[in-house]
Amino acid sequence: MTEPKLIARNVDVFYGEKKAIDNVSIDIDNGIVTAFIGPSGCGKSTFLRSLNRMNDTIAGAKVTGEILLDGEDIYAASMDPVALRARVGMVFQKPNPFPKSIYENIAYGPRIHGLAQGKAQMDEIVERSLTKAGLWDEVKDRLSDAGTALSGGQQQRLCIARAIAVSPEVILMDEPCSALDPIATARIEELIDELKDTYAIVIVTHSMQQAARVSQRTAFFHLGHLVEYGETSEIFTTPREDRTKDYITGRYG
Protein backbone atom coordinates (compact mmCIF):
# COMPACT_ATOMS: atom_id res chain seq x y z
CA MET A 1 0.00 0.00 0.00
CA THR A 2 1.28 3.45 -0.84
CA GLU A 3 0.81 6.28 1.63
CA PRO A 4 -2.25 8.50 1.13
CA LYS A 5 -1.45 11.77 -0.66
CA LEU A 6 -3.49 13.80 1.80
CA ILE A 7 -4.43 12.85 5.33
CA ALA A 8 -6.93 14.92 7.32
CA ARG A 9 -7.31 14.20 11.02
CA ASN A 10 -10.02 15.63 13.29
CA VAL A 11 -10.49 18.71 11.15
CA ASP A 12 -12.93 21.41 12.31
CA VAL A 13 -13.57 24.55 10.29
CA PHE A 14 -15.21 27.60 11.85
CA TYR A 15 -16.61 30.79 10.37
CA GLY A 16 -16.50 33.03 13.42
CA GLU A 17 -18.39 31.08 16.10
CA LYS A 18 -20.14 28.83 13.61
CA LYS A 19 -18.70 25.35 13.10
CA ALA A 20 -19.09 24.42 9.42
CA ILE A 21 -16.97 21.23 9.51
CA ASP A 22 -17.02 18.95 12.53
CA ASN A 23 -14.24 16.47 13.24
CA VAL A 24 -13.58 15.21 9.72
CA SER A 25 -10.87 12.62 9.15
CA ILE A 26 -10.20 11.26 5.67
CA ASP A 27 -7.36 9.80 3.59
CA ILE A 28 -7.12 10.86 -0.05
CA ASP A 29 -5.14 8.68 -2.42
CA ASN A 30 -3.09 9.31 -5.51
CA GLY A 31 -4.15 8.01 -8.89
CA ILE A 32 -7.88 8.24 -8.29
CA VAL A 33 -10.69 10.78 -8.28
CA THR A 34 -12.34 11.39 -4.92
CA ALA A 35 -15.81 12.99 -4.99
CA PHE A 36 -17.35 15.03 -2.18
CA ILE A 37 -21.14 14.95 -2.28
CA GLY A 38 -23.93 16.07 0.03
CA PRO A 39 -26.80 18.53 0.31
CA SER A 40 -26.30 22.25 -0.12
CA GLY A 41 -24.57 23.86 2.85
CA CYS A 42 -23.19 20.57 4.25
CA GLY A 43 -19.63 21.91 4.07
CA LYS A 44 -18.18 20.25 0.96
CA SER A 45 -16.60 23.42 -0.40
CA THR A 46 -15.45 24.52 3.03
CA PHE A 47 -13.63 21.23 3.59
CA LEU A 48 -12.21 21.26 0.05
CA ARG A 49 -10.80 24.75 0.63
CA SER A 50 -9.14 23.60 3.84
CA LEU A 51 -7.01 21.19 1.77
CA ASN A 52 -4.98 24.00 0.21
CA ARG A 53 -5.55 26.71 2.80
CA MET A 54 -7.92 28.72 0.63
CA ASN A 55 -9.90 29.34 3.83
CA ASP A 56 -6.97 31.51 4.96
CA THR A 57 -8.26 34.12 2.53
CA ILE A 58 -11.70 34.29 4.23
CA ALA A 59 -11.87 36.66 7.19
CA GLY A 60 -13.02 34.89 10.35
CA ALA A 61 -12.40 31.38 9.01
CA LYS A 62 -10.36 29.05 11.24
CA VAL A 63 -9.19 25.49 10.68
CA THR A 64 -8.17 23.17 13.52
CA GLY A 65 -6.95 19.58 13.45
CA GLU A 66 -4.29 18.27 11.11
CA ILE A 67 -3.92 18.07 7.34
CA LEU A 68 -0.85 16.34 5.96
CA LEU A 69 0.39 16.44 2.36
CA ASP A 70 2.86 13.60 1.89
CA GLY A 71 3.19 13.59 5.67
CA GLU A 72 3.90 17.32 5.89
CA ASP A 73 1.59 19.53 8.00
CA ILE A 74 0.16 22.09 5.57
CA TYR A 75 -0.81 24.41 8.45
CA ALA A 76 2.72 24.44 9.91
CA ALA A 77 4.28 27.89 10.27
CA SER A 78 7.02 26.81 7.87
CA MET A 79 4.55 26.08 5.06
CA ASP A 80 4.26 28.90 2.52
CA PRO A 81 0.59 29.04 1.44
CA VAL A 82 1.48 30.30 -2.05
CA ALA A 83 3.85 27.39 -2.64
CA LEU A 84 1.25 25.04 -1.14
CA ARG A 85 -1.41 26.25 -3.59
CA ALA A 86 0.91 25.46 -6.49
CA ARG A 87 1.26 21.90 -5.14
CA VAL A 88 -2.48 21.65 -4.41
CA GLY A 89 -4.14 23.55 -7.25
CA MET A 90 -7.76 24.58 -7.48
CA VAL A 91 -10.36 24.93 -10.20
CA PHE A 92 -13.51 26.86 -9.36
CA GLN A 93 -17.18 26.62 -10.20
CA LYS A 94 -17.15 29.56 -12.57
CA PRO A 95 -14.27 29.61 -15.04
CA ASN A 96 -12.13 32.57 -13.94
CA PRO A 97 -9.37 33.23 -16.48
CA PHE A 98 -7.20 36.27 -15.82
CA PRO A 99 -8.03 39.25 -18.07
CA LYS A 100 -4.95 38.45 -20.12
CA SER A 101 -4.02 36.44 -23.20
CA ILE A 102 -4.40 32.67 -23.34
CA TYR A 103 -0.59 32.39 -23.25
CA GLU A 104 -0.26 34.67 -20.22
CA ASN A 105 -2.97 32.80 -18.33
CA ILE A 106 -0.71 29.74 -18.40
CA ALA A 107 2.67 31.50 -18.15
CA TYR A 108 1.80 33.59 -15.10
CA GLY A 109 2.13 30.83 -12.48
CA PRO A 110 5.36 29.27 -13.82
CA ARG A 111 6.83 32.79 -13.99
CA ILE A 112 6.11 33.71 -10.38
CA HIS A 113 7.33 30.30 -9.24
CA GLY A 114 10.48 30.59 -11.39
CA LEU A 115 9.79 27.38 -13.31
CA ALA A 116 11.06 28.52 -16.74
CA GLN A 117 14.59 29.60 -17.67
CA GLY A 118 13.62 31.52 -20.77
CA LYS A 119 11.08 32.00 -23.55
CA ALA A 120 11.66 28.60 -25.18
CA GLN A 121 11.10 26.79 -21.89
CA MET A 122 8.02 28.86 -21.13
CA ASP A 123 6.62 28.11 -24.59
CA GLU A 124 7.12 24.44 -23.84
CA ILE A 125 5.30 24.67 -20.49
CA VAL A 126 2.42 26.54 -22.14
CA GLU A 127 2.10 23.96 -24.93
CA ARG A 128 2.40 20.99 -22.56
CA SER A 129 -0.18 22.38 -20.13
CA LEU A 130 -2.69 23.24 -22.85
CA THR A 131 -2.16 19.83 -24.45
CA LYS A 132 -2.76 18.04 -21.16
CA ALA A 133 -5.93 20.05 -20.66
CA GLY A 134 -7.14 19.07 -24.13
CA LEU A 135 -7.14 22.64 -25.41
CA TRP A 136 -3.95 23.02 -27.46
CA ASP A 137 -5.40 22.21 -30.89
CA GLU A 138 -8.23 24.68 -30.38
CA VAL A 139 -6.05 27.61 -29.29
CA LYS A 140 -2.55 27.09 -30.73
CA ASP A 141 -3.12 29.66 -33.47
CA ARG A 142 -4.61 32.29 -31.17
CA LEU A 143 -2.45 32.27 -28.05
CA SER A 144 -2.45 36.05 -27.87
CA ASP A 145 -6.27 36.27 -27.81
CA ALA A 146 -7.89 37.05 -24.47
CA GLY A 147 -8.62 34.02 -22.30
CA THR A 148 -12.03 35.50 -21.62
CA ALA A 149 -12.87 35.32 -25.36
CA LEU A 150 -13.06 31.51 -25.20
CA SER A 151 -16.29 29.57 -24.69
CA GLY A 152 -17.22 28.61 -21.12
CA GLY A 153 -16.01 25.04 -21.55
CA GLN A 154 -12.76 26.20 -23.14
CA GLN A 155 -12.28 28.73 -20.32
CA GLN A 156 -12.65 25.94 -17.77
CA ARG A 157 -10.07 23.82 -19.63
CA LEU A 158 -7.83 26.93 -19.67
CA CYS A 159 -8.20 27.14 -15.89
CA ILE A 160 -7.30 23.46 -15.60
CA ALA A 161 -4.26 24.08 -17.84
CA ARG A 162 -3.31 27.01 -15.59
CA ALA A 163 -3.41 24.73 -12.55
CA ILE A 164 -1.37 22.07 -14.37
CA ALA A 165 1.28 24.59 -15.49
CA VAL A 166 2.85 24.81 -12.04
CA SER A 167 3.21 21.00 -11.78
CA PRO A 168 0.74 20.36 -8.97
CA GLU A 169 0.42 17.10 -7.08
CA VAL A 170 -3.26 17.47 -6.24
CA ILE A 171 -6.04 19.27 -8.13
CA LEU A 172 -9.12 20.36 -6.19
CA MET A 173 -12.21 21.05 -8.28
CA ASP A 174 -15.21 22.84 -6.81
CA GLU A 175 -18.21 22.00 -9.00
CA PRO A 176 -16.13 22.56 -12.15
CA CYS A 177 -19.00 21.81 -14.55
CA SER A 178 -21.88 23.62 -12.92
CA ALA A 179 -21.66 26.56 -15.34
CA LEU A 180 -21.20 24.35 -18.42
CA ASP A 181 -23.51 22.72 -20.97
CA PRO A 182 -23.66 18.91 -21.27
CA ILE A 183 -21.12 18.71 -24.11
CA ALA A 184 -18.56 20.90 -22.32
CA THR A 185 -19.26 18.90 -19.14
CA ALA A 186 -18.53 15.63 -20.93
CA ARG A 187 -15.18 17.02 -22.16
CA ILE A 188 -14.20 18.04 -18.64
CA GLU A 189 -15.24 14.66 -17.26
CA GLU A 190 -13.08 12.88 -19.88
CA LEU A 191 -10.23 15.18 -18.97
CA ILE A 192 -10.61 14.46 -15.25
CA ASP A 193 -10.41 10.76 -16.04
CA GLU A 194 -7.14 11.27 -17.96
CA LEU A 195 -5.61 13.57 -15.35
CA LYS A 196 -6.17 11.21 -12.44
CA ASP A 197 -3.20 9.09 -13.50
CA THR A 198 -0.88 12.05 -12.88
CA TYR A 199 -2.59 13.96 -10.05
CA ALA A 200 -4.72 13.17 -7.05
CA ILE A 201 -8.06 14.76 -7.90
CA VAL A 202 -10.78 15.83 -5.51
CA ILE A 203 -14.05 17.06 -6.95
CA VAL A 204 -17.05 18.63 -5.23
CA THR A 205 -20.19 17.94 -7.20
CA HIS A 206 -23.92 18.41 -6.81
CA SER A 207 -24.51 15.79 -9.43
CA MET A 208 -24.60 12.24 -8.17
CA GLN A 209 -24.47 11.04 -11.76
CA GLN A 210 -21.24 12.96 -12.17
CA ALA A 211 -19.79 11.54 -8.96
CA ALA A 212 -20.72 8.05 -10.14
CA ARG A 213 -19.20 8.67 -13.59
CA VAL A 214 -15.89 10.27 -12.65
CA SER A 215 -14.89 9.13 -9.18
CA GLN A 216 -13.53 5.95 -7.72
CA ARG A 217 -14.14 7.01 -4.11
CA THR A 218 -16.95 9.11 -2.67
CA ALA A 219 -17.32 10.99 0.59
CA PHE A 220 -20.84 11.92 1.69
CA PHE A 221 -21.10 15.01 3.91
CA HIS A 222 -24.12 16.11 5.94
CA LEU A 223 -24.37 19.09 8.28
CA GLY A 224 -20.61 19.44 8.54
CA HIS A 225 -20.01 15.74 9.25
CA LEU A 226 -18.38 13.16 7.03
CA VAL A 227 -21.13 10.55 7.19
CA GLU A 228 -19.70 7.89 4.93
CA TYR A 229 -16.63 7.38 2.76
CA GLY A 230 -15.86 4.47 0.49
CA GLU A 231 -15.66 3.04 -2.98
CA THR A 232 -18.00 4.99 -5.26
CA SER A 233 -19.62 1.80 -6.55
CA GLU A 234 -20.47 0.78 -2.99
CA ILE A 235 -21.66 4.19 -1.81
CA PHE A 236 -24.15 4.28 -4.67
CA THR A 237 -25.33 0.68 -4.48
CA THR A 238 -24.97 -0.44 -0.87
CA PRO A 239 -24.56 2.60 1.41
CA ARG A 240 -24.15 1.68 5.07
CA GLU A 241 -25.76 4.78 6.56
CA ASP A 242 -29.42 5.74 6.31
CA ARG A 243 -28.51 9.38 5.69
CA THR A 244 -26.43 8.39 2.64
CA LYS A 245 -29.24 6.16 1.40
CA ASP A 246 -31.78 8.97 1.76
CA TYR A 247 -29.55 11.39 -0.14
CA ILE A 248 -28.68 9.14 -3.04
CA THR A 249 -32.28 8.07 -3.46
CA GLY A 250 -33.24 11.73 -3.67
CA ARG A 251 -35.14 11.96 -0.40
CA TYR A 252 -33.44 15.26 0.39
CA GLY A 253 -30.81 17.49 -1.07
Ligand X SMILES: Nc1ncnc2c1ncn2[C@@H]1O[C@H](COP(=O)(O)OP(=O)(O)OP(=O)(O)O)[C@@H](O)[C@H]1O
- The reply on whether position 41 binds ligand X by CB under 6 A is yes
Q: In angstroms, rounded to a whole number, what is the distance separating the alpha carbons of residues 231 and 56? A: 31
Residues from 155 through 214 that contact ligand X (CB under 6 A): 206
Q: What is the DSSP code string of 61-130? A: EEEEEEEEETTEETTSTT--HHHHHHHEEEE-SS----SSBHHHHHHHHHHHTT--SSHHHHHHHHHHHH
Q: In angstroms, rounded to a whole number, what is the distance separating the alpha carbons of residues 169 and 212? A: 23
Out of 4, 12, 14, 15, the residue judged to bind ligand X by CB under 6 A:
15
Out of 6, 43, 97, 122, the residue judged to bind ligand X by CB under 6 A:
43
Out of 30, 45, 155, 232, the residue judged to bind ligand X by CB under 6 A:
45
- The reply on whether position 14 binds ligand X by CB under 6 A is no
- The reply on whether position 58 binds ligand X by CB under 6 A is yes
- The reply on whether position 42 binds ligand X by CB under 6 A is yes
Q: Which is nearer to ligand X, 37 or 165 (CB)?
A: 37
- The reply on whether position 52 binds ligand X by CB under 6 A is no
Out of 34, 46, 52, 215, the residue judged to bind ligand X by CB under 6 A:
46
Residues from 94 through 133 that contact ligand X (CB under 6 A): none
Out of 6, 8, 11, 20, the residue judged to bind ligand X by CB under 6 A:
20
Phi, psi of 82, deg, nearest 5: -70, -45
In the complex, least distance from residue 19 CB atom to ligand X, rounded to whole angstroms:
9
Size of the site for ligand X (CB under 6 A): 12
Q: In angstroms, rounded to a whole number, what is the distance separating the alpha carbons of residues 84 and 45? A: 18
Q: In angstroms, rounded to a whole number, what is the distance separating the alpha carbons of residues 121 and 79? A: 28
Q: What are the angstrom distances between the C-alpha of 111 and each of 26, 40, 104, 158, 183? A: 34, 37, 10, 17, 33
Residues found near ligand X in the complex (CB under 6 A): 15, 20, 38, 40-46, 58, 206
